[in-house]
Every structure is written in structure tokens, then in C-alpha cells.
Amino acid sequence: MSTALVILAAGKGTRMESDLPKVLHKIGGAPLLHHAMLSASALEPERCIVVTGHGADAVEAAAKEFDPDAVAVRQSEQLGTAHAVLQARDALDGFDGDVIVLYGDTPFITTETLEQMIAARAAHDVVVLGFNAADPGRYGRLIMDGPSLKQIVEFKEATDEEKAITLCNSGVICAESGTLFDLLTEVGNDNAAGEYYLPDIVGIATARGLTATAVTCTEAETLGINSRLELAAAEALFQQAKRRDLIEDGVVMQAPDTVFLSFDTIIGRDAEIEPNVVFAPGVTVESGARIRAFSHLEGAHVSRGAIVGPFARLRPGAELAEDVHIGNFVEIKNASIDEGAKVNHLTYIGDAEIGARTNIGAGTITCNYDGVMKHRTTIGRDTFIGSNTMLVAPVTVGNEAMTATATVVTKDVPDGAMAIARTEQTNKQGFARKLFSMLRAKKAKQAKV
């Protein structure tokens, strides 16, 4: 049976103390909303509906960024979770599969858990995701009778016996589309808040003779984000899990707690990550590469055997081939560095192509921006770029060529040629002593005033 998603992302998130919609706050470099969509995307849903409200334009743009086929519907008034799901009814017109209701501020529910809910739906009309809480607090309690879920009781309405139950409601629900919306039409708002609550469909279903059950997951999976403190705690949980997964897959980390990863970071086995490395989104590091301490990588690809850092920065579009060396205080942006090339010291390479086995000397800069447009620099294979070379793009340096130290390259350099472009040095005898004497006298005069 096909599956559809309804992701609730309309809340303002007042406790976040932010102008940014709650679901757009980030964990691992990605909005909370993307995390919720990512786990569910592995189910290959036929439709994905995102219910928006506060900051709707921004939330809808983020949903489309992740899934261009996602459909956004708006909840103009915040009248509860059942009311929010009802806003998706028209968008699911004609769909007769299972619907899973997720939350845009609950980022850790796994694909495996959602698959278990779909499997349970084959034998039950309504499936609820529950968890055993270490401290149940004010969560709604799941009242079970064997495998059957009889009722969800809110804390304030629970008896002392029911409050002792640790099996709690996550809010995530799965039901066949027609059944779900039929049940939702019967949900009332006779409560203190005057809102329509999604969990009420369980009691309505059982009263009709329909069956309900609960699938359980770990409490950490159901963590919802409502404040900055909870966001920070969630980031820590994400980082711990991501580091653990990479180490178990064969990545070497000398000080794991100092390495920060993104939701899409890919690192191959036997790669070595030194302390205090940051992986922003879009980074792939192949097996056997080494990322040295205090480096920052974003939107970059590092091939097998390459060494990056320490104190290096790879910006979006950095493409390093096998056995490339990128050294300390080097920045690479939108540039490909071919096999065995070395850029070891205090250098900026942007909008460029560097050939195989070429050596880039310390202090080299590709001058790629003229104030309006970006231009490219192309350097061939087996070429030597002398220290403190300025390459004024657009410019090409050929194969097996070289530039002299302190050269400003403004014209193409042919294969095998050496470029020299600097003024001739002259030495003025005694001038340094005379100049220092004049300056010291001036300084002394100023001190007396």
C-alpha cells in the first residue's frame, strides 16, 4: 500500500525566543523540518504534505528545498493538531493509502520506526507511536490491553493508577487516509484550550469498534524541540550519534567530542580526523584521507590519500583529487586540485583548476574577483608557482611551467616557460640610517609637545 506524509510545521515556537519559525532552527546544519522529512523520505511516500502557519513562506521554501514535490497547506488559525491535519484533506484527495502524521520539530524518529508503524497498520486501523519515559511527567498515557490500544489519557485527566503508566504518547499516528479524515471530523474541542486534539481519534476509533495499537521506540527518538536549551541538547545528541556511527564504520577520531558533523557528512573507513575539525553541510571525505586539526570544510570533496590542514579551510566547490596536500592557513573555494598537487602554506585558491603534481608556493593568491565578476585561473600539471605569486584571472599557466617568487601574472604562461614580473631591486647606500635618524628626531619632538 502507498504511503503519504503529513508533517505539522505551523507552530510559532514562542519558547524559542526567535523570529525564525521553530522548524527552521538547525541541527547538524539542517533545519529541524529537513530531519523529519529525511527519515520519512526513505519510505518513498507518494505524497508529502507540510502544514504551515507561522512564517509560512519561509517554511514552505524550506520544504520545497528538500523535496520540490512537497505540497504546502496553511493552517491560518492555530486550533490544535487535529485541526492542522484536517488542512491536508484536500491535498490528499484521491489518495487511498496510509497516512503518517509527523511533526516538524521532532527530528530524530527513524525510518525503521516508521516502517514498524506501517507494518502494524496492516493489522490495525490506527497505529500510535509510543515510548517508555524515564520521567513520564505530563505526557499523555497510552492505555493498553495486550496489543490493543484502548485510549490515550491526558495527564490532567488521568487517575493516579494511569499516571503510574510510563508508556507515553509521542503524537505520531498512522492510519488509512479515509479512516483518518473520517475520525478527525468527529474530534471536538470541549477542553480548556478549546482546541482539536489529534490523539482523540483513538477513543473515537475504539468506540466505533475499530482497532488501535501502539509501536514503541526509544524516548530519544521522540524528542521534540521547544526551546533553545532543548535545541542545544538535541544538537549534542545528534553529534554523539553521528560520531558513534562514523567510528563504528571505521573512521579514526582522536578526540571525537571536538569534531562537529553535519546531517549529510560522509567519511570513508580509515580516514583520520584530528581534533577540532568542523564539517559544515555537503562534505565527503574518502577512505584513507586525513583531516588535520582546526580545519573547516563545507561543500567539499576530499579524495583518498589527501591531507588537509591543520588550520585549512575548504569552501563550497573545493574538489581534491587523490594524494593532494592542503596545508596550514590555506583556503580553497570552487577549485579542483588534481592528483598529487600541493598547496601547503598561507594561500588562497579560488575559481581555479590546478594540475597534477603542481606545487603552489606560500603566499600565492588567485585574484579571481574584479569587483563585479569572478574569473578563473588554470594551472597545468607539474608546474611550480613561486612564493608570493599573484595570478590575476582570467589567466592560464601551462604544463611544466613556473613563476618566479613575487611575480604578478597578468598574461598566460606557455608550457615550459618561466614568468618573471617584478621591479628591479635597487640599494640606496646609507639611506636606512638617515631615514631612521629623521624619524626618531620627529618622534622625540612630538613627545615634548
For residue range 354-386, list pLDDT tens digits in order.
999 999 999 999 999 999 999 999 999 999 999
Q: What are residue 302's DSSP bridge partners?
A: 285, 320
What's the confidence (pLDDT) of residue 58?
A: 97
- Helix (H) / strand (E) containing 86: helix 81-86
4 closest CA partner among 84, 79, 76, 69 = 69
For residue range 13-45, list pLDDT tens digits in order.
889 999 999 999 999 999 999 999 999 999 999
What's the confidence (pLDDT) of residue 296?
A: 98
Confidence check: pLDDT of 78 > 90: no
CB count in 10 Å sphere of residue 134: 8
> Hey, is 53 helix, strand or coil?
strand
Cell output for 340: 598529487
Taking a C-beta distance cutoff of 8 angstroms, is the pair 186, 207 a contact?
no
What's the confidence (pLDDT) of residue 194?
A: 84
- Helix (H) / strand (E) containing 267: strand 266-267
> Hey, is 46 helix, strand or coil?
coil
369 closest CA partner among 334, 329, 418 = 334
- Taking the alpha carbons at both ends of the chain, their separation in whole angstroms is 91
Q: What is the dihedral of CA 263, 51, 169, 38, to 10 degrees?
A: -20
Which residues form the catalytic set? Answer: 345
CB count in 10 Å sphere of residue 278: 17
For residue range 162-171, list pLDDT tens digits in order.
999 999 999 9
What's the confidence (pLDDT) of residue 449?
A: 72
- Helix (H) / strand (E) containing 37: helix 32-41
CA 192 and chain centroid, separation: 39
Domains of the chain as residue ranges with CATH: 3-222 (3.90.550.10), 228-419 (2.160.10.10)
Residue 284 CA to residue 268 CA, distance in Å, equals 8
pLDDT band at 192 (very low <50, low <70, confident <90, very high): confident
Query: What DSSP designation does 52 have?
Result: E
388 closest CA partner among 410, 354, 428, 360 = 360
Taking a C-beta distance cutoff of 8 angstroms, is the pair 197, 191 a contact?
yes
Residue 62 CA to residue 57 CA, distance in Å, equals 9
Confidence check: pLDDT of 412 > 80: yes
Query: What DSSP designation does 139 have?
Result: P
Q: Are strands 319-320 and 359-360 parallel, antiparallel or unpaired?
A: unpaired
